[in-house]
Structure 1
Amino acid sequence: MPLSEQEQRLLDEMERSLYHGDADFVAAVGRVRTGVNYTAVIGGILLAVAGVGVLLGGVLLHAWPVGVLGFVAMFAGVLLAIGAPRRRAPFAGAPHGTRRRGSMMDRLAARWERRRQA
């Protein structure tokens, strides 16, 4: 069911007010985070391997506090390697209008305009 002229004007006005009034929100929604922080992954793996070594040393020495410390280090290393924060894409923090690719909202608006003209 197509929209009436009044509904179409109201929708257009709401879209314009969203773009102009909530520029910070539109910029935050359009951010894309890609890539892997390899330094954190490698550091996490090294910490996990060191934790396994300390854990085995604690077991061999019959010192449970050392074993617990090794387990904690191993667990922290795995968490660091698996949940390594990703780097932001080069265009993610750029001001509106200077991005290399259009944001999701820009692409949706362009598609909407193409539909209306067809």
Structure 2
Amino acid sequence: MPLSEQEQRLLDEMERGLYHNDADFVAHVGGRRGRPNYRAIVIGVLIAIAGVGALIAGVAIQVLVLGIGGFVLMFAGVMVAIAPSKRSAAPEELPTTSAPKAGGSKQGFMDRLNQRWDDRQEGQ
């Protein structure tokens, strides 16, 4: 069932409020990411391959410490390869349609929603 026009406007306003109030959260979770760090990926893959080799060698010659060290090295290589880039791009800004209330104070989304609710209740 499609959303009504009022529900769609409310959803858009909630999304703008999220982008405005929780910019750090949006950048961390859903923002566009920059280019992948190919150097870290290559280094991580090489470390993981060395870890696999050490793991296999540890199992083949039955040296527990070498096998465990190989596993740790393999895990570290994978973590280096999948680590997020430090050069992530900022999320795109959404245009805001609602201006701040009189007096220049910025109100949060819930404050504006409560104000609209109170206005409606007084009008009835």
TM-score normalised to structure 2 length: 0.47
TM-score normalised to structure 1 length: 0.49
